[in-house]
Chains A and B, each alone.
Chain A
Amino acid sequence: MPRDHPIQPMIHATMRGVTRVYQAGKPLHALGPIDLDIARGEFFAVVGPSGCGKSTLLDVLAGLNAPTEGSISFEDKPVAGQVPDGVGVVFQEDASFPWLTVRDNVAFGLRRAGMDAAEIARRVEYAVGFMGLRDFATAYPAQLSGGMRQRVCIARTLVLQPRLILLDEPFGALDQQTRLLMGDELLRLWRETGATVLLITHALDEAAMLSDRVGVMSARPGCFIDLVETHWPRDRDSRIVSDEAFGHVTARLWSTLRGESMKAIGRAS
């Protein structure tokens, strides 16, 4: 799909000294401090133990949650109060609208933006076809499997041509085979759109397979304790799991993460 935005500088999104402390009752330091630069067109994954603040990191970067301290910028503009234009988010939970057909779900954001009907139809047809949903365009989400519903949500994000796509464990509820295939779809989407992707996941193999870089977070309050570069070619797919280097990447991720995961479940490493 042709892109409508001008070329931007290399650094696409930045977080500086970002923390998040929840104040309900006893203050809970959930995140940070986080310092992170994500390059334009990069596929960046975040892994960490349960409850380390991965989703909080995504919410803060998306503008869905305000940081307690620090600053966030996207395309050199501060992120404050609302989701910036050009940012799309896919959540772990089924976020399809059950009262709308697949086609109407995908068109939802475009209609809100007041786009003309012909352009909406063009973009929706492209996205529905791209995500393999053409035969189900008039179906309701209840008639689809969990994986297909997640594809509907991805298509709904895709039609808006986001320049930064944030994915919060989008395949968390799917079986392993479907996750691998969905990973391939995601890589194809990333290559074709040229968007920057930040993926939150608890699956080390998923992070290792999909990403250019993987950020490993500590137990709460979550901070980056390691940044692993994978050096995969851009036209990779799920077959990379049989590559020898894939084992090295996942082994490094786990060796960093194991101690933090032990802490998260209340046991010393």
Chain B
Amino acid sequence: MTRAAAVRWTRIALVAGCVLLLEAVCRLHMINPLTLIPPSAMAIAMVRMIASGEMIGDIAHTFSAVAIAAVASVIAGFALGTAIHGVPRVRRAIAPLLASYYAVPVFVFYPLLVALFGLTMLPLIAIAFIAAVPAMVIATLTGLDRVPRVLRKVARVHRMGALRTALLVVLPAALPSLCNGIKLCLAYAFIGVIAGEFILSSGGLGYGIAYAYESFENRPMYGRMLFVLLVAIVVNGLLQVWEVRLNRRRGQA
């Protein structure tokens, strides 16, 4: 077995061990069932809710908000990052703000966004966008900084115009950093939407979790929580596979 495979199996065994331990602790009533239900019961509740179609509305609400916020933040972050990179003076002025951005709890603006846009999907998209966009700006700046100057020179030797240089040289060279930015955007968008729904919303998985919590309905609550967790892990895993492949090809794995 290779070292990488051994690490992977150790990781899987660790997670499986934790799940089994939690199952045993819950089954042996060492934890009050009103507080925590066994993972198997969570899984059954999740499958039942999916099969009955009970969660479809919430899933559509949450994931459409996440998708819109993530795509918008990736596009806007990339455009902003490219524009800032092109004007060093502006960059010098903005860099400290970007560096300290995540010290600001952006969720304090959520009530304001609800007041502005009403109890629709818009404040959720807005808060997720606000949380995600700086990650993409920073990733774009890092990516563009890392494009070796010599590659731009090669483009000039091949008499390529600005657009062709950007598409065929700069963008592929910056892709590992951009990929990291996309991953972060998706994570922040997911957190932003779920947390926003949890605080105040008319629907969505976060709203469903909060509603079930307040109604002491443990099975629907944990079923939804497990679903959110699994989706986050799968999406992040897929992006991780893409990133590893990209980096391995470039000898950066």
Contact = CB atoms under 8 A, between A and B. Distances in A.
Interface stretch (A81-89, A187-195, A225-233, A251-259): A81-89
A95 B154 contact: yes
Interface string A101-143: 0000000110010000000000000000000000000001111
Contacts of B250: 98-99, 140, 142
A91 B164 contact: no
B89 interface: no
B157 A88 contact: yes
Contacts, number: 56
A40 B153 CA distance: 25
A142 B249 contact: yes
A85 B173 CA distance: 26
Interface in B209-253: 249-252
Chain B binding site: helix, strand, loop or mixed by DSSP? helix
B179 to A, nearest CB: 12
Nearest to B246: A99
B67 interface: no
Given A97-B151, A97-B172, A83 B249 contact: no
A91 B152 CA distance: 12
Nearest to A92: B150
Interface residues of A, number: 22
B169 interface: yes
Interface string B153-193: 11011111000100011001101000000000000000000
A91 B153 contact: yes
B150 A98 contact: no
Contacts of A99: 172-173, 175, 249-250
A112 B159 CA distance: 9
A108 B173 CA distance: 15
Contacts of B168: 112
Interface in A39-94: 62, 64, 82-83, 85, 87-89, 91, 93-94
Nearest to A89: B157
B148 interface: yes
A98 B157 contact: no
B157 A64 contact: yes
B175 to A, nearest CB: 7
14 contacts: A83-B156, A85-B159, A91-B150, A91-B154, A95-B148, A98-B249, A99-B173, A99-B175, A109-B158, A112-B160, A112-B168, A140-B250, A142-B250, A143-B251
